[in-house]
Structure 1
Amino acid sequence: MECILTVDINTSSVRIHAFDLTGQVLGMRKGSYPTFHPQADYSEQDPEQVFITTLYVLKNFLNEVIHSQKYKVKAICFCAAMHSVLALDKNGRPLGNAIIWADNRGIKQAKQLKNSKECTQIYEASGTPIHPMSPLIKIAWMSQQDPERFAQAYKFISLKEYVLLQLTGEYLLDQSIASSTGMFDIHQLKWHPEALKFAGITPDRLSTPVSIFFDEVGLKKEYSKSLGLSSATKLIIGSSDGCSATLGSGNIAAEKATVTLASSGAVRVASKEILVDKSQRFFNYLLAEDYYISGGPTNNVGVVFDWFSQQFGSFDPRQDIEQVKAELLREAIQVSAGAKGLLFLPYLLGERAPIWNANARGVYFGLNITHGQKHLLRATVEGILFEVYSIGKLLAEHRNFSSISLTGSYASVPLFAQILTDIFGLPIHANTGVDNVALGTALIGLTGMNYFKNLNETSSNLPVTETYLPNKQNHELYMRYFEIFERLSTKLEPDFELITALQ
């Protein structure tokens, strides 16, 4: 049997899936790697660790599943999280760790650009909001704050590009991830001169942007041999995880929104037109020509629940973190909606949409003597999802959607799904039988190989395995809580800045 492999280089792990040529899952493997926080507002990953983990998982998966069952690999298609930056020297060696999406060290540079006359032009050309998350700001920070590394850098690339560089020897970047850098003109499909000027670089210090269907380079001979793959195996460059998730949830041509709940989160809609917002609160990323994914991201989903689990979960050394989280979720179910008058602002990593405030911080509000750990737990989950709703509420002012497709690692957690549908007051559909990012990546690969005519065809009639319907009483209660949540997020803005300065 012939198959296609997908490699998803996400924030906490690499996930490798095999699909047959109709898009049915044949198997998967994953391997994890850490994120380092050397100081407040810093989030980094070791590029060598990411690559070695990817190669190890890929090789084991091929040996244990693909080769043993006589599958023939037609292609490998890649996707990855957005907004990472890695400086390389002229020999392709990393100059330190990669700076990932959650990193907020470029607050000063983001303010500098926001206050410049070039701000609107760069946002409208690139579709990327001005925020420390973007590679544009990260590179500008490096030029000002780490000039030695900046001067030594031959190229600035993402973690996905680094993995592909090791496998192929080529500096290539798909237009989808390029569109999330803040430096790529999504209309002209080329690097934007004003953005590059602000970053202090020229196009030759970046990779060559190519279509998500690009397949004109192959594995180095040593990797073909080591992995047991034919030289005819195609490498398809693929897309970003957010765009793949939207495609894999079947929302390319439908009036639906896609909500992703993973380490981070997002609310997205697909359209052939960009979303125009004078306040520059939304992203407009390119999936493929004439396909735009618009919406807003949040920093604080799985990373916040992981934080709570590690700090306040079971101290039994025999339990791993997944067991601890499962136990906490069982406790949270026992607490009624509203957590007995307790609210949580989940901004442990600052925040992107809709407040775009890198100084934002976490807050428990409404604590009294009757609250215990279970109430803090329930408020934490609700606070994460109130933040997601705040993006969706704003997006609904620009795009109509009557239902939501839920994707990401937390899509299979019933408590998260039910609270989310109660907050939105809309039905939620989840395909918990398949990873939507992997499926979307596979559909890109299959379209590139002409097994499907176009992306519209690939995303039609995708299955739904779980449907959640809102509880009207809970929705009305959550709307009253959300008014306070939204007001606090705005009111505390000056105090967020003051407390950050004291750090």
Structure 2
Amino acid sequence: MDYMIGVDLGTTSTKSVLFDLKGHIIASSSKGYPLYRDKPDMAEEDPVEIFEALIDSLTDVVRAGKLENDDKILGVSFSSAMHSLIAFDKDWKPLTRVITWADGRAFKYSEQLKESGVGQEIYSKTGTPIHPMAPLSKLLWLKNEQQDIYKKSKHFLGIKEYIFHRLFKTNKMDISIASGTGLFNIFNLDWDQQALQITGLSKDQLPTPVEPYEIERGMSKEYAKVIGIPVDTPFIYGAGDGPLSNLGVNAIQPGVAAVTIGTSGAIRVVTDKPKIDPKGRTFTYALDRNHWVVGGPVNNGGDVFRWARDNLFDAEKSTAALLGIDSYDLLTEIASKVPAGADGLLFHPYLGGERAPIWDANARGSFFGLTHYHTRAHMVRAVLEGIIFNIYMVALALEEVVGELKSVQATGGFAHSALWRQMLADIFEQSVTVPQEIESGALAATVVGQKALGLTDKIENISGMLGDAETYKPNPENYETYRELTPIFIRLSRQLQTEYENIANFQREHVHIKLTEK
């Protein structure tokens, strides 16, 4: 038998999955690591911890696969979280931890870029909205506030590039990851001169851009021995996790949107060429040079549901643990008893600032419409609906750029809940299809790997690897209610945005100081 391993480098864990060539899962292994939030707006990881998690997960999955002598692992291919940044000195010693997409310390420099008009110029060439998530803004923060590190830095990589450098001594970045840096011109597929000039970098400080189908062989013997694979096993660069999420659920046809809500969330559509939003609300990232993913990411998904569980339903959380019931299932059951629209209670889910559709790192969450008759059940229903309303706002912006959405494919942790699936169908007024539970990101990475190795002629062949799916239809009673509430939700988000900076600055001055002193 021949096999492929798909690796999913995530924000809080790395997962390695062993597949046969038909996409069946043989074995999987996941290893977690902490997200460090030592200071206000910080969100960092330790690159060594992630590298060790990768080696451990690969080792586990190879052993779990119980391969026979005539079995062969044809390749290892990667999906990776985007927008990370690590600075290195001339000897390739890391000068920073991994500054992740969730790190917001560069918010001031993002705002300066937007206000100057230069940000829109760069966005129109790079397809990455101006936001603290992007390495472009992170570099400006380093340049202005971490000058010692910035001056010593001779190389800048993301987490996947760091891993390939450790294994193969390379200095390359696939164009999918590069297209999310804010430094990469998506029209000439090279580093953008204006972005380099603003950050003060030269091309030789950044990796060489390569196709997602780029292959490395001849890894370190030390690591090959630990993992239990031949030294010449091909490692394929693969692509960013967002673009691969679309491929993994077969949402690569025109007008087919993939909605993913895990800790954070996103909605994306694949096009055959880059498409730029004149208003700067959507991203355009490469899957490869012939497939471009246009969409918008949100910071606030399942993590907001977790906040509601931990802070509003602590007693129920303990009860669920005693009864052996999933606490999230208990909360969705409570929310299902409340009618659609939560009797006029709205929730803006901006607990962690927000990317699309408002691209405001200062955004903060709020309940609106609270009355005496609202209960905690109404509040949890409003939280769930608010997450979907916000994704729908992104969808409206997306339709202005790519045209009408014809159908929705839903994935991520939220898709486990029948209530959320129905909410998505009702608020979008679209049929929502939920593919059979698979490791979609890792599977998509292996399909890219198969194409790189000449085992398949096109990535669209993934459709034959996917199992059955469930489809949810909009409920007319519910979507009539949501039709009334959606405009209020949208108008309110715009009105509140005028005060987000003021309340965020108050919190930075007063609240965060108290938190760091504890």
TM over 0.5: yes
Q: How does 1:66-105 map to 2 (within 5 A)?
A: 66-67=66-67, 71-105=71-105
CA distance in 2, matches of 1:362, 1:11: 23
Partner of 1:340: 343
Distance change >3 Å, CA 131–CA 324, structure 1 → 2: same
| TM superposition shift of 1:39 | 3.3
- Does 1:368 find its partner at 2:349? no
Alignment equivalent of 1:476, drawn from 477, 480, 491: 480
Q: Which residue of 1 aligns with 2:272?
A: 272
Aligned partner of 2:190 in structure 1 is 190
Q: Which SS does the other structure have where 1:140 is aligned?
A: helix
CA distance in 1, matches of 2:117, 2:491: 30
Secondary structure at the residue paired with 1:354?
coil
| Aligned-residue offset at 1:129 | 1.0
Q: CA deviation at 1:474?
A: 0.6
Out of 487, 491, 500, the position equivalent to 2:495 is 491
| C-alpha distance in structure 1 between counterparts of 2:325 and 2:395, whole Å | 29
User: In the alignment, is the contact (CA less than 8 A) between 1:51 and 1:163 conserved in 2?
Assistant: yes
Following TM superposition, by how much is the alpha carbon of 1:213 offset from its aligned partner in structure 2, in angstroms? Answer: 0.4
Aligned length: 503
Counterpart of 2:513 in structure 1 is none
Among residues 366, 384, 387, which one is paired with 2:387 in the alignment? 384
CA shift at 1:8, angstroms? Answer: 0.4
Quote the residue 1:327 is aligned against.
330
**Cα distance in 2, alignment partners of residues 400 and 25 from structure 1:** 35
Indicate whether 1:442 and 2:453 are aligned.
Answer: no
- In structure 1, give the amino acid aligned to 2:331: L
Name the aligned partner's letter for residue 188 of structure 1: N
Offset, 1:167: 2.3
Per-residue deviation, 1:93 = 3.0
- TM-score, length basis structure 1: 0.95
State the one-letter code of the partner of 1:219. Answer: M
Write the letter of the residue equivalent to 1:83.
Answer: H
1:351 maps to: 354
- Shift, 1:66, TM fit: 4.3
Residue in 2 aligned with 1:180?
Answer: 180
1:131-146 matches, within 5 Å, as: 131-146=131-146
Quick check: 121-130 or 88-97, which moved more? 88-97
Q: Provide the secondary structure at the position in 2 that maps to 1:285.
A: strand
Q: TM-score, structure 2 length as denominator?
A: 0.92
What SS does the corresponding residue of 2:4 show, helix, strand or coil? Answer: strand
Between Structure 1 and Structure 2, the one with more helix by share is: 2
Aligned pair in 2 of structure 1 residues 242, 322: CA closer, same or farther (>3 Å)?
farther
Give yes or no for the alignment of 1:296 onto 2:299. no
Q: Is contact 1:260-1:406 (8 Å) kept?
A: yes
Amino acid in structure 1 at the alignment position of 2:407:
S
* Partner Cα separation in structure 1 for residue 319 and residue 147 of structure 2: 44
Give matches, 1:86-235, under 5 Å: 86-235=86-235
**Superposition deviation, residue 108 in structure 1:** 1.5
CA contact (8 A) 2:7 2:78 kept: yes
Which sits farther off after the overlay, 402-411 or 468-477? Answer: 402-411
1:89–1:303 distance in 2 versus 1, CA, 3 Å: farther
Q: 2:400 aligns with which of 390, 394, 397?
A: 397
- Asked whether the equivalents of residues 22 and 465 of structure 2 are also in contact (C-alpha less than 8 Å), the reply is no
For residues 489 and 329 of structure 1, the distance between their equivalents in structure 2, rounded to whole angstroms, comes to 25
Secondary structure of the 2:73 match is strand
1:281 aligns to 2:281 (yes or no): yes
Judging changes above 3 Å, is the alpha-carbon distance between structure 1 residues 254 and 71 closer, same or farther for their aligned structure 2 residues? farther
CA distance in 2: counterparts of 1:71 and 1:27, whole angstroms: 14
Cα separation, 2, equivalents of 1:80 and 1:197? 27
1:118–1:194 CA contact under 8 A, matched in 2: no
Name whichever of 43-52 and 207-216 sits farther off: 43-52
8 Å CA contact 1:452, 1:458 repeated in 2: no
1:146-182 CA-to-partner distances (Å, cap 9, x unmatched) read 1112122232211222222222222221110000000
Structure 2 counterpart SS, 1:115:
helix
For residue 124 of structure 2, give the secondary structure of its aligned residue in structure 1: helix
Q: What one-letter code is carried by the residue in structure 1 that aligns with 2:189?
A: L
For the 8 Å contact 1:251–1:459, the answer to whether it is kept is no
- Cα distance in 1, alignment partners of residues 135 and 106 from structure 2: 10
Residue in structure 1 matched with residue 510 of structure 2 by the alignment: none
In structure 2, give the amino acid aligned to 1:204: D
Aligned mates of 1:63, 1:109 — CA distance in 2: 47
State the shift of 1:419 in Å.
0.8
Give the alignment of 1:234-273 within 5 angstroms. 234-273=234-273
435-444 or 485-494, which moves further after superposition? 435-444
Cα distance in structure 1, aligned partners of 2:409 and 2:10: 20
- Contact 2:345/2:382 (<8 A) preserved: yes
Q: Are residues 1:312 and 2:316 paired?
A: no
- CA deviations 1:275-304 (Å, max 9, x no partner) are 232111111111111211111111111222
Query: Which stretch of the first structure deviates more once superposed, 364-373 or 479-488?
Result: 364-373
Offset of residue 459 of structure 1 = 4.4
- Which runs of 4 or more aligned residues in structure 1 lie more than 6 Å from their structure 2 counterparts after TM superposition? none
Q: For each residue in 1:174-208, what CA deviation from the matched residue of structure 2 results, as whole angstroms up to 9, or x when unmatched? A: 11000000001111111111101111211222222
Query: Is the 1:313–1:325 Cα contact (8 Å) retained in structure 2?
Result: no
The structural deviation recorded for 1:451 is: 1.8
Report the alpha carbon displacement of residue 393 of structure 1 after superposing the two structures with TM.
1.7
Which runs of no fewer than 5 residues in structure 1 stay unpaired? none
Paired amino acid for 2:256: K
Q: Distance in 2 between matches of 1:70 and 1:311?
A: 54
Deviation at 1:68, TM superposition (A): 7.2
User: Taking structure 1 as reference, are residues 49 and 330 closer, same or farther at Cα in structure 2, changes over 3 Å only?
Assistant: farther
Cα deviation, residue 23, structure 1: 2.2
- Could you give the per-residue CA deviations for residues 333-355 of structure 1, whole angstroms, max 9, x where no partner exists? 22221123211100111111111
Q: Which residues of 2 match residues 40-51 of structure 1 at below 5 A?
A: 40-51=40-51
SS at match of 1:396: helix
Which of 203-212 and 302-311 deviates more? Answer: 302-311
Q: SS state of the match for residue 108, structure 1?
A: helix
Distance 1:90 1:329, change over 3 A: farther
For the residue of structure 2 that corresponds to 1:294, the secondary structure is: strand
1:132-154: CA deviations, max 9, x gaps?
Answer: 11110011111101111212223
Secondary structure at the counterpart of residue 236 of structure 2: strand
Conserved? CA contact 2:275–2:284, under 8 Å:
yes
